[in-house]
């Protein structure tokens, strides 16, 4: 878990990177940008806000041969070892990004390389390097008084409420390729940013496995539980699955299946589905791991506990305890109407 509120931007270097295929150039600043208090505060919010609002899906630098062949990893290492070289490192990072900007879809833009102090990650204070890119320009109006009239000009600039691309490299776990977070608002060129430029891959930690296993379960519920049983059982299965994760610190698949799978006939189906679909979620060989509480909370927020009926009625199963649905919601068949029905028990209506 990261905390960026006490963090400070110690320096930032600005460059402009064009698109090689469009014969656009590379502009490299000779010196770091000299910030004042106002720009420092604005840049902090511009750089950090996307990471505060985003799930913490960590990456790490990698290379098929050796990490020393990953240019951004090597520049980050040099900067962490000697922060005084951050501007020189930013120039090399901008050059590397320029070399990867060779597809017609890639937009030119400004690149910011920042050295950041007092970053809290997993209750540990450390430093970070931020690499950010602004691509999209927006029109805005600027007003000026001229004699007896108010004049306006249409200018173009960067929207400080939306960072186009960015990454934070934390000075931890160097031997494993550091811990890295990345954001990308323009997903049409994600491969260019993550793979070609940064050279990072998903970090297989407790957050990775917790998130991916729950996604795998969600698809199992949709592809297997729903056709075999009904929508209510699909929702109940996912509620039981999430609650199992929420109340345990460690995951063990056998215990999970025994607790969550009410229909034992579906256990072989689950195992077969894992062989078939598990590689998509990188869980095919995973049966034990530590559970990340934040990943569970994030998954619960995204769960759609709604039974949608073809009579334009929705039943929302909004509760933590899945036993409530089985106790207070019954499904049946009406012979006279030749229709299914849900019978819902309650003591009193809640005031909205």
Q: Per-residue pLDDT tens for 13-33?
A: 999 999 999 999 999 999 999
Sequence-distant (6+) residues with CB within 8 A of 249 are: 290, 291
Contact between 86 and 170 (Cβ < 8 Å) = no
3 state DSSP class of 271: helix
340 assigned to some structural domain: yes
Domain boundary among 166, 183, 203: 203
Contact between 205 and 291 (Cβ < 8 Å) = no
pLDDT band at 312 (very low <50, low <70, confident <90, very high): confident
Domain boundary among 148, 178, 203: 203
Q: Is the dihedral of CA 114, 195, 75, 202 positive or negative?
A: positive
352 assigned to some structural domain: no
Name which of 90, 97, 96 is nearest 112 in CA terms.
90
DSSP 183-228: EES-GGGHHIIIIIII-EEE--SHHHHHHHHHHHHHHHIIIIIHHH
Q: Quick one: 301 and 245 in the same domain?
A: yes
Checking if the pLDDT of 319 tops 60, the result is: no
Q: Quick one: 109 and 215 in the same domain?
A: no
Q: Quick one: 229 and 186 in the same domain?
A: no
H-run or E-run covering 329: strand 329-334
> What's the token pair of residue 147?
């004699």
How large is the greatest C-alpha to C-alpha distance in the chain, in angstroms?
84
Antiparallel, parallel or unpaired: β 179-184 and 138-146: unpaired
pLDDT recorded at residue 170: 97
pLDDT recorded at residue 76: 97
What pTM was computed for the model? 0.78
Query: Out of 4-18, 208-222, 315-329, which region has the weakest mean confidence (pLDDT)?
Result: 315-329
pLDDT band at 303 (very low <50, low <70, confident <90, very high): confident
Burial of 16 (0-12, 13-18, 19+ CB in 10 A): middle
Q: Which range of residues forms the domain containing residue 83?
A: 2-203
Checking if the pLDDT of 58 tops 70, the result is: yes
Q: Quick one: 118 and 236 in the same domain?
A: no
């Amino acid at each position: 878990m990261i905390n960026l509120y006490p963090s400070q931007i110690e320096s930032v270097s600005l460059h402009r990177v064009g698109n090689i295929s469009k014969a656009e150039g590379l502009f490299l600043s000779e010196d770091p940008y000299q910030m004042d208090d106002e720009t420092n505060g604005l840049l902090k919010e511009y750089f950090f806000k996307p990471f505060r609002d985003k799930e913490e899906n960590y990456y790490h630098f990698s290379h098929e041969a050796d990490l020393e062949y990953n240019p951004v990893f090597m520049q980050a290492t040099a900067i962490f070892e000697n922060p005084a070289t951050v501007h020189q490192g930013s120039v090399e990072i901008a050059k590397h990004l320029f070399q990867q900007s060779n597809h017609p879809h890639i937009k030119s833009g400004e690149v910011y390389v920042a050295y950041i102090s007092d970053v809290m990650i997993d209750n540990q204070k450390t430093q970070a390097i931020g690499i950010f890119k602004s691509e999209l320009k927006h029109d805005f109006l600027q007003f000026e008084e001229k004699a007896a009239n108010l004049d306006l000009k249409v200018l173009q600039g960067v929207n400080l409420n939306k960072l186009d691309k960015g990454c934070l490299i934390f000075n931890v776990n160097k031997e494993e390729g550091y811990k890295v977070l990345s954001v990308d608002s323009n997903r049409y060129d994600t491969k260019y940013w993550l793979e070609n430029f940064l050279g990072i891959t998903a970090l297989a930690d407790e957050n990775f496995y917790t998130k991916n296993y729950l996604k795998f379960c969600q698809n199992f519920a949709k592809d297997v539980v729903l056709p075999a049983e009904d929508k209510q059982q699909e929702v109940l299965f996912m509620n039981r699955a999430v609650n199992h994760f929420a109340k345990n610190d460690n995951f063990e698949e056998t215990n999970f299946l025994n607790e969550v799978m009410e229909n034992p006939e579906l256990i072989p189906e689950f195992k077969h589905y894992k062989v078939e679909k598990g590689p998509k979620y990188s869980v095919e060989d995973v049966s034990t791991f530590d559970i990340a509480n934040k990943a569970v909370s994030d998954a619960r927020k995204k769960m759609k506990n709604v039974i949608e009926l073809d009579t334009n009625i929705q039943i929302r199963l909004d509760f933590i305890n899945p036993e409530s649905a089985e106790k207070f919601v019954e499904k049946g068949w009406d012979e006279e109407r030749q229709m299914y029905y849900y019978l819902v028990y309650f003591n009193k209506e809640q005031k909205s």
